[in-house]
């Protein structure tokens, strides 16, 4: 247990220690991508899943193709890898409910790391302090493939190489490699500030990107199947306080571009659990600021497109540029390979399911309340309120002006789920809550404007409240959600609410700029969990 994460906060007139328990350990997972060789990370960018060799099984016909599918052939395991895991649990003094604490499996945003679970995990682990009748939750997270903590720049959590008791085989999931300025995989020791996940999205190798996403989903199936083993490991840890997990109450959270693989996890888990007793069905899910149609989403992302599109144009001598058939072919082929992991492919399967989506819509023409700058709400001016990205990069004069793309973004994903707006009268799950302020990284930065200028504490509080309401409902009797703070939710009735009152709004500062995207900044929890929880409980 990491004592550095203990903090204090005032709850009303009561000062208490935030003795949320944060356990750090390792979990062994099957890995299907190639492993780097000594001194070279090239295969991290060039590899993709290869078929398993069943040639020795005389009862099996040879696979008709070496392309990995959901039927046959299956992917071949490269190795078992021992990687970090973090478990955040309620403080030791909290009485364990009958059956144990419910559990949230949290998939962090791309280019952050496992520390990104801490703000929401802290809130979920302390809800029963303010209201003893409410549930407190255990939250579990691992790093996505090719993500992890380096030796510098991370507050609170410890690189696996520095953890007491770690096995000799344990490794951060980036394997000690990161992207340099030219996106080559180089040893992290050669870089001044290596970035988590900088090799995860690969625009030069479609299959590599797809299989990184698939690997991320597969990892979470294994985490789910290991919940009892995780509980046992904590209870067998000498200095650790005992912990009981309720595997009948398992929930799922994914954030941002991680939803590209993560959106499949609840549905596939619940289907597979019918024939696999090791898997625990997922009761409800929260998709935070994610979207569908990855390739065109990237083309219309305010923070990503200005990096990707000029790079494609330059690398192809102007062939892969907007308005040319070649770029359309590039994106369409890329999307075709990603469809097996893309949320849009799974969205219709969540109709009538217990899923809550969120998005940052902002307020038009309000510089302090911009729309999500990483995952666009939409990119089609005919079907939705937001059209394709149109901008000019000031430093270079590079012009971005795309066509309508009806499947790109959060709104098309919500439409494919038949999700209704949370504040609408009679709206039932699945639901989408559209926030009038905040940032893409709001679930992580949680109102800490030093890390993210547009982050809103009011939005974080509302996001947390809605998530916890969803996760504590009687699934058989309740299928709608309450808006506690209408000042930050589009379409909510603000009559009788003073939106100028402290805590009801926390817009950004457009003059300061800000990072709402999938970047290392979004993983910074440096302001402290105490500030966050104080806001949640009205301190």
pLDDT in the model for residue 533: 33
The pLDDT of 189-212, averaged and rounded, is: 95
Distance (Å, whole) CA 162 – CA 168:
11
pLDDT at 518 over 50: no
Distance (Å, whole) CA 245 – CA 228:
8
Distance (Å, whole) CA 253 – CA 528:
21
Q: Is 313 exposed, middle or buried (0-12, 13-18, 19+ CB in 10 A)?
A: middle
The pLDDT of 513-524, averaged and rounded, is: 42
Confidence of residue 4 (pLDDT cuts 50, 70, 90): very low
CA distance readout (Å), 240 to 25, 90, 308, 459: 12, 13, 46, 34
Give the closest residue to 526 by CA, choosing from 455, 434, 423. 455
E strands of 192-242, at which residues? none
pLDDT in the model for residue 165: 87
- Please give the residue that has the higher pLDDT: either 226 or 239: 226
E strands of 138-259, at which residues? 138-142, 177-179, 185-187, 245-255
Place of tokens 């709402």: 516
Place of tokens 């992302």: 301
Confidence of residue 102 (pLDDT cuts 50, 70, 90): very high
Angle at 334 between CA 329 and CA 336, to 5 degrees: 95
Number of C-beta neighbours around residue 142 at 10 A: 27
Give the closest residue to 487 by CA, choosing from 474, 478, 496, 477. 496
Q: Is 368 exposed, middle or buried (0-12, 13-18, 19+ CB in 10 A)?
A: middle
Number of C-beta neighbours around residue 484 at 10 A: 14
- Please give the residue that has the higher pLDDT: either 164 or 361: 361
pLDDT in the model for residue 535: 36
pLDDT (tens digit, 9 = 90+) per residue, 232-262?
Answer: 999 998 788 889 999 999 999 999 999 999 9
E strands of 428-518, at which residues? 431-435
pLDDT in the model for residue 534: 36
- The residue count of the chain comes to 539
pLDDT at 520 over 60: no
Q: Are strands 282-288 and 355-360 parallel, antiparallel or unpaired?
A: parallel
Distance (Å, whole) CA 505 – CA 459:
8
Distance (Å, whole) CA 192 – CA 180:
10
Confidence of residue 19 (pLDDT cuts 50, 70, 90): low
pLDDT (tens digit, 9 = 90+) per residue, 129-151?
Answer: 767 667 899 999 999 999 999 97
E strands of 96-156, at which residues? 101-107, 138-142
pLDDT in the model for residue 156: 65
263 in Cβ contact with 253 (< 8 Å)? no
Give the closest residue to 463 by CA, choosing from 288, 291, 292. 288
pLDDT (tens digit, 9 = 90+) per residue, 366-399?
Answer: 999 999 999 999 999 999 999 999 999 999 999 9
The pLDDT of 292-306, averaged and rounded, is: 97
Distance (Å, whole) CA 242 – CA 261:
33
pLDDT in the model for residue 7: 44
Distance (Å, whole) CA 59 – CA 18:
58
Read off the tokens for 365.
């023409």
pLDDT (tens digit, 9 = 90+) per residue, 445-480?
Answer: 999 999 899 999 999 999 999 999 999 999 999 999
Confidence of residue 152 (pLDDT cuts 50, 70, 90): low
Three-class SS of residue 225?
helix
The pLDDT of 328-350, averaged and rounded, is: 96
Average model confidence (pLDDT) across the chain: 89
Three-class SS of residue 156?
coil
């Amino acid at each position: 247990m990491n004592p550095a994460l203990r903090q204090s906060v005032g709850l009303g007139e009561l000062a208490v220690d935030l003795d949320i328990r944060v356990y750090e350990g390792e979990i062994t997972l099957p890995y299907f991508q190639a492993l780097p060789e000594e001194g070279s990370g090239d295969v991290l960018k060039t590899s993709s899943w290869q078929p398993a060799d069943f040639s020795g099984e005389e009862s099996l016909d040879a696979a008709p193709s070496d392309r990995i599918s959901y039927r046959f052939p299956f992917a071949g395991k490269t190795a078992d890898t021992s990687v970090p895991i973090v478990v955040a649990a309620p403080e030791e003094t909290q009485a364990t409910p009958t059956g144990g604490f419910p559990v949230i499996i949290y998939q962090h945003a791309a280019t952050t790391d496992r520390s990104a679970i801490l703000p929401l995990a802290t809130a979920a682990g302390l809800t029963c302090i303010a209201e003893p009748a409410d549930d407190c939750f255990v939250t579990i997270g691992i790093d996505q493939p090719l993500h992890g903590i380096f030796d510098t720049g991370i507050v609170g959590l410890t690189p696996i190489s520095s953890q007491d008791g770690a096995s000799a085989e344990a490794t951060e999931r980036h394997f000690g490699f990161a992207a340099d300025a030219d996106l080559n995989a180089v040893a992290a020791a050669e870089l001044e500030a290596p970035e988590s996940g900088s090799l995860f999205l690969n625009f030069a190798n479609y299959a590599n990107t797809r299989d990184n996403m698939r690997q991320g989903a597969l990892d979470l199936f294994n985490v789910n199947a290991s919940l009892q083993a995780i509980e046992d490991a904590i209870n067998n840890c000498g200095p650790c306080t005992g912990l009981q997990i309720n595997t009948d109450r398992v929930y799922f959270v994914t954030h941002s571009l991680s939803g590209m693989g993560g959106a499949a996890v609840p549905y596939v888990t619940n289907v597979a659990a019918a024939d696999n007793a090791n898997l625990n069905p997922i009761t409800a899910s929260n998709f935070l600021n994610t979207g569908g149609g990855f390739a065109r989403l990237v083309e219309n992302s305010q923070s990503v497109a200005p990096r990707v599109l000029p790079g494609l144009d330059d690398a192809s001598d102007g062939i892969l540029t907007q308005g040319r058939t070649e770029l359309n072919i590039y994106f369409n082929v890329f999307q075709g390979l990603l469809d097996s992991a893309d949320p849009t492919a799974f969205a219709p399967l969540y109709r009538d399911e217990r899923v809550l989506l969120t998005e940052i819509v902002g307020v038009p023409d309000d510089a302090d309340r911009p729309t999500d700058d990483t995952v666009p709400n939409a990119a089609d001016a005919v079907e939705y309120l937001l059209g394709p990205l149109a901008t000019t990069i000031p430093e270079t004069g590079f012009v971005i002006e795309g066509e309508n793309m009806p499947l790109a973004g959060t709104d098309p994903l919500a439409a494919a789920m038949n999700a209704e707006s949370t504040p609408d009268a009679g709206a039932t799950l699945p639901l989408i809550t559209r926030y009038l302020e905040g940032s893409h990284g709001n679930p992580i930065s949680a109102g800490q404007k030093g890390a993210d200028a547009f982050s809103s504490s009011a939005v974080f509080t509302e996001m947390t409240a809605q998530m916890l309401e969803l996760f504590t409902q009687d699934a058989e009797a309740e299928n709608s959600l309450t808006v506690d703070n209408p000042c930050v939710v589009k379409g909510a009735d603000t009559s009788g609410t003073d939106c100028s009152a402290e805590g009801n709004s926390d817009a950004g500062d457009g003059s300061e700029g800000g990072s709402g995207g999938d970047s290392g900044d979004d993983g910074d929890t440096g302001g402290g969990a105490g500030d966050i929880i104080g806001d949640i409980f009205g301190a």
